[in-house]
């Protein structure tokens, strides 16, 4: 039986309580995937999103999906082709910046849990009609930030969010303090400069700092 939107949201809610931050990774060289994944895991961040923005992304997902203790998903999943490729690579979930009926249908057919994106009340309500009650809020900072999410909690208390887009070590706690935020996604934990330098110790420390961010939902 294909996964339902409700079951997908329940799965995503459950795994996202593992840590307050989900690293959003843009991987240019799949040969770095093992060391990068282990550094993030050892720092306390086991749920990883590898964005499909580079030619190396699918190979990186394949590598990370074999790391014990790591749950890796594909980000920037835009259509059925992306969803199929992510599933074949071993992704355990998909993350989208928005949502379309075709993408939802594809992920349902593939049994691939989807974290769809919404940024307005209408978009959130449409996804709620589909059965989703956990969504990505993107792009967070340029769409009103924590204040916008706080406002959405009033009329839509049944919906929880994972904000991404402009989240930093400095503002993440503002989001995590909100009642409708389970976790936040951020790229600051694995900056390209540190990955290129293979400075896994520094990345592990950034992950450890992020893992200690206060959240009532973790």
Report the catalytic residues: 49, 136
Residue 71's H or E segment, with its range, is strand 71-75
From CA 100, how far away is CA 117, in angstroms rounded?
Answer: 10
Please give the span between the terminal C-alpha atoms of the chain, in angstroms, as a whole number: 30
103: CB partners within 8 A, 6+ apart: 77, 78, 79, 80, 83, 96, 114, 116
Q: Using DSSP, state whether 130 is helix, strand or coil.
A: helix
φ and ψ of 15, to 5 deg:
-70, -30
Distances (CA, A) of 121 to 6, 94, 150, 154, 157: 19, 22, 12, 11, 12
């Amino acid at each position: 039986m294909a996964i339902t939107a409700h079951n997908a949201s329940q799965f995503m809610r459950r795994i996202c309580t593992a840590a307050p931050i989900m690293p959003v990774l843009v991987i240019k060289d799949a040969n770095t995937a093992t060391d990068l994944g282990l550094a993030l895991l050892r720092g306390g961040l086991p749920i990883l999103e590898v964005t499909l923005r580079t030619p190396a992304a699918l190979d990186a997902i394949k590598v990370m999906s074999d790391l014990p203790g790591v749950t890796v998903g594909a980000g920037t999943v835009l259509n059925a082709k992306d969803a199929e490729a992510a599933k074949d690579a071993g992704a355990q979930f998909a993350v989208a910046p928005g949502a379309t009926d075709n993408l939802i249908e594809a992920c349902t057919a593939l049994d691939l849990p989807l974290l769809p994106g919404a940024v307005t009340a209408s978009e959130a309500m449409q996804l709620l009609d589909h059965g989703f009650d956990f969504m990505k809020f993107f792009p967070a900072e340029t769409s009103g930030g924590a204040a916008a999410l706080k406002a959405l909690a009033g009329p839509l208390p049944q919906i929880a969010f994972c904000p991404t887009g402009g989240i930093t070590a400095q503002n993440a706690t503002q989001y995590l303090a909100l009642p409708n935020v389970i976790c936040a996604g951020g790229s600051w934990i694995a900056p390209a400069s540190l990955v290129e330098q293979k400075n896994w110790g520094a990345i592990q420390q950034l992950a450890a700092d992020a893992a200690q961010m206060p959240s009532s939902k973790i």
